[in-house]
DNA sequence: GTGGTGGTTAATGTGC
DNA sequence: GCACATTAACCACCAC
């Protein structure tokens, strides 16, 4: 299940010189990221002994990062923060972060991760200067950044030439946003926000157009992509329909269930900012999995996300005989699997121990090592 | 050469 | 359709 209705992010992998490129797998596979057909760039391929092919492309924005992506990035960057400052080059670290992002279902190249991180820091600083102590919504985006920077400050071993500059921004603490129960998202202190999805649903006459927004508003925490807009920040509507409480980790959301099953799913996805393909389900307090429908019992539910199936994939050089690198890949759906194969120009996988060929997700074995299988003649 | 940073450009979203 | 806001992507500069 892919939870975004938007087209996949256009990932112009940029390796050197900040030129836009398309990542090409080293063993001659198809580009990992492909251009939409309607906007095919002029390709200027630069062969470099079996390495990446560079592709110049007109500037094209990738899909805007959603909350879950941004939080993953911050989390990963935070985990590796100590490594960043002991290394001359951080390139490989960003590659690791990018790889982990992909494992989570987010196609973001190292450069995209780097740029996002830089832009986040810039926004963070800008917001602090402009909205010092205002308790604005934007500040809550950066609570985790603030914590990271504060951690750095505490860490005496950490020495960065830019630390002093960064630190000049982290003395600020927005008390209105210190509440750890507010996990993420843009929080307008006085009211509710609107969501892109909300408006889209509304225009489509979707039965959950109001339910989704109001159920989330009831939690007081709109999803990451919600924007504050003039005219909707003052009033707080209470939702009068059937509402369940859904818990995911430490986060709890109230979800309106007066719509169809699909609408309820959308509401859950919106409320938690879910954008990956991972399947999910709800269990009640007796750990009974409940189907989503308007007649489901009211009460408290726990959200469970599919853990996926992780395999190892060994990539070979153009001769197909010399292993070049190994990647871990987590797959959630058959569609995920097919997409993974298609991007590399593979028709299936072959298990290295036993040489069993696999072309469906169900036949994959967790943690097993595979190599790509191409069509004969390719 | 690389990373950090500030500033800028431009694609895209949003409101009217 | 236009104006404006947001933000991904890019550039230039500096420090090391």
Report pLDDT digits (tens) over A229-275. Answer: 333 333 334 455 778 888 877 777 788 777 777 777 777 777 776 65
pLDDT in tens, A276-298: 566 777 888 877 777 777 778 88
Taking the domains of chain A in order of start, what are their residue ranges? Answer: 1-174, 196-305, 309-373
Q: How far apart are CA A187 and CA A224, in angstroms?
A: 9
C8 C1' – A17 CA distance, angstroms? Answer: 17
**Taking the C-alpha atoms of A95, A100, A102 and A106 in order, what is their torsion angle to the nearest 10 degrees?**
-110
CA separation for the pair A215, A238 (Å, rounded): 8
* Separation of A131 CA and C5 C1' (Å): 17
pLDDT of the residue at A128? 66
Query: Which nucleotide is at minimal CA–C1' distance from A21?
Result: C9
What mean pLDDT comes out for the span A336-363?
81
Q: State how far the Cα of A193 lies from the Cα of A378, in Å rounded to an integer.
A: 52
Nucleotides of C under 7 A from a protein CB: 6-11, 15-16
Rounded, the Å distance between the CA of A248 and C1' of B3 is 37
pLDDT at A311: 86
Domains A196-305 and A309-373 share a fold: yes
The class of domain A196-305 in CATH terms is alpha beta
**In the structure, what pLDDT confidence band is assigned to residue A225 with cuts at 50, 70 and 90?**
very low
Protein CA at A84 to nucleotide C1' at B8, angstroms:
27
Tens digits of per-residue pLDDT, A297-334? 888 888 887 777 888 888 877 777 777 777 878 787 77
Query: What pLDDT score does A85 carry?
Result: 62
Secondary structure string (H, E, C) spanning chain A: CCCCCCCCCCCCCCCCCCCCCCCECCCCCCECCCCCHHHCCCCCCCCCCCCCCCCCCCCCCCCCCCHHHHHHHHHHHHHCHHHHCCCCCCHHHHHHHHHHHHHCCCCCCHHHHHHHHHHHHHHHHHHHHHCCCCCCHHHHHCHHHHHHHHHHHHCCCCCCCCHHHHHHHHCCCCHHHCCCCCCCCCCCCCCCCECHHHHHHHHHCCCCHHHHHHHHHHHCCCCCCCECCCCCCCCCCCCCCCEEEEEECCEEEEEECCCCHHHHHHHHHHHHCCCCCCCEEEECCCCCEECCCCCCCCCEEEEEECCCEEEEEEEECCCCCCEEEEEEEEECCHHHHHHHHHHHCCCEEEECCCCCEECCHHHCCCCCEEEEECCCCC
Task: Mean pLDDT check: name the lowest of A106-120, A247-261, A341-355.
Answer: A247-261
Q: Residues, chain A, total? A: 378
First to last CA, chain A: 30
Q: Is A186 left (phi over 0), alpha (psi -120 to 50) or beta?
A: beta
Q: For residues A209 and A106, what is the distance between their CA atoms, to the nearest angstrom? A: 27
In this prediction, residue A52 has a pLDDT band, given cuts at 50, 70 and 90, of very low
CA A128 / C1′ B5 distance in Å? 16
Among candidates A285, A279, A333, which has minimal Cα distance to A304?
A279
Burial (CB count <10 Å: 0-12, 13-18, 19+), residue A100: buried
Residue nearest to nucleotide C8 (CA to C1'): A61
Residue nearest to nucleotide C11 (CA to C1'): A18
Domain A309-373 CATH class label: alpha beta
Q: Which residue is nearest to nucleotide C10 (CA to C1')?
A: A18
- C-alpha span between A26 and A316 (Å, rounded): 7
Whose CB is within 7 A of strand C?
A: A 10-12, 14, 17-20, 59-62, 64-65, 111-112, 115-116, 118-119, 123, 161, 227
Which residue has its C-alpha nearest to nucleotide B11's C1'?
A: A61
């Amino acid at each position: 299940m892919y939870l975004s209705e938007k087209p996949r992010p256009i990932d112009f992998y940029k390796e050197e010189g900040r030129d836009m490129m398309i990542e090409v797998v080293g063993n001659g596979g198809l580009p990992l990221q492909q251009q939409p057909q309607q906007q095919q760039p002029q390709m200027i391929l630069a062969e470099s002994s079996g390495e990446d092919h560079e592709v110049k492309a007109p500037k094209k924005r990738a899909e805007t990062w959603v909350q879950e992506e941004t939080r993953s990035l911050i989390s990963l960057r935070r985990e590796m923060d100590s490594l960043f400052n002991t290394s001359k080059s951080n390139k490989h670290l960003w590659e690791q972060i990018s790889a982990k992002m992909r494992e989570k279902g987010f196609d973001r190249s190292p450069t995209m991760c780097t740029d996002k991180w830089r832009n986040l820091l810039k926004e963070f600083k800008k917001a602090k200067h402009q909205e010092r102590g205002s308790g604005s919504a934007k500040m809550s985006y950066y609570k985790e950044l603030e914590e990271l920077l504060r951690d750095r400050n505490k860490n005496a071993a950490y020495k960065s030439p830019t630390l002093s500059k960064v630190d000049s921004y982290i003395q600020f603490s927005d008390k209105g946003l210190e509440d750890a129960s507010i996990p993420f998202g843009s929080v307008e202190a006085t009211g509710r926000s609107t969501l892109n999805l909300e408006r889209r649903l509304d225009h489509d006459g979707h039965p959950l157009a109001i339910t989704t927004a109001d159920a989330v508003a009831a939690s007081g925490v709109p999803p990451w992509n919600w924007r504050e807009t003039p005219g909707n920040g003052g009033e707080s509507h209470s939702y009068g329909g059937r509402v369940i409480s859904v818990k995911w980790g430490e986060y709890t959301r109230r979800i309106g269930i007066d719509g169809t099953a699909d609408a309820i799913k959308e509401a859950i996805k919106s409320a938690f900012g879910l954008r990956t393909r991972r399947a999910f389900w709800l269990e009640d307090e007796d750990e009974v999995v409940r189907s989503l429908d308007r007649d489901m019992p009211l009460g408290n539910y726990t959200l469970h996300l599919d853990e996926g199936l992780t395999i190892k994939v060994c990539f070979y050089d153009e001769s197909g005989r010399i292993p070049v690198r190994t990647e871990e890949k987590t797959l959630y759906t058959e569609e995920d699997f097919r997409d993974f194969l298609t991007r590399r120009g593979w028709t299936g996988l072959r298990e290295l121990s036993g040489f069993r060929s696999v072309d469906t997700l169900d036949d994959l074995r967790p943690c097993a090592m595979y190599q790509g299988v191409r069509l004969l003649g390719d």
